[in-house]
């Protein structure tokens, strides 16, 4: 309230000094924000390092790697490359577009479609063969 009265009574000189006061407050606020973000990032980094070293986390990552063979990414990439290499008027393009559309969009969807693991009674090799089928279908 005092700054407002000071501005009304003092004219341009008062307005200038009011702006200076506002800038000082803003600079201090930004410095506090930068400091707080820096502290948060350091604690997040420390937690990440701690998590990477945790044996249970490493075990979970290994299990996740085994859940889905890398053929999902390879198959999708092969279809995308084939689609990019075909001219727009090529009749084969429709087959490749359909195969890419039908291709599982995410690893989770792949797990649901092909039923990886013991639940479906398939090995990872069989799962790879099923995913490979999606790719071959378009070629």
- Is the separation of the CB atoms in 76 and 131 below 8 Å? no
What's the average model confidence in pLDDT over 4-29?
84
Phi, psi (5° rounding) for residue 68?
A: -130, 120
Tell whether the model's pLDDT for residue 22 goes beyond 80.
yes
Q: What would the pLDDT profile of 75-130 be if each residue is shown by its tens digit?
A: 788 888 888 888 888 888 888 888 888 887 776 666 666 554 444 444 555 555 55
- Res 18: pLDDT: 83
CA nearest neighbour of 66 among 111, 101, 28: 111
pTM, to two decimals: 0.35
Average pLDDT over residues 23-49: 94
Specify whether the CB–CB gap between 102 and 122 falls below 8 A. Answer: no
Supply 88's token pair: 């727009």
Terminal CA-CA length for the chain: 75
């Amino acid at each position: 309230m005092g700054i407002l009265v000071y501005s009304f009574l003092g004219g341009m000189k008062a307005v200038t000094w009011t702006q200076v006061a506002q800038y000082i407050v803003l600079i201090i606020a930004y410095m506090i924000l930068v400091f707080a973000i820096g502290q948060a990032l350091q604690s997040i980094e420390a937690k990440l390092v701690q998590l990477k070293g945790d044996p249970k986390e490493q075990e979970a990552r290994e299990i996740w790697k085994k859940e889905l063979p890398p053929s999902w990414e390879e198959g999708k990439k092969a279809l995308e490359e084939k689609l990019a290499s075909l001219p727009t008027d090529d009749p084969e393009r429709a087959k490749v577009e359909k195969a890419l559309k039908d291709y599982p969009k995410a690893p989770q969807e792949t797990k649901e479609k092909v039923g990886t693991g013991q639940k479906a009674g398939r090995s990872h090799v069989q799962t790879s063969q099923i995913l490979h089928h999606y790719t071959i279908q378009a070629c």
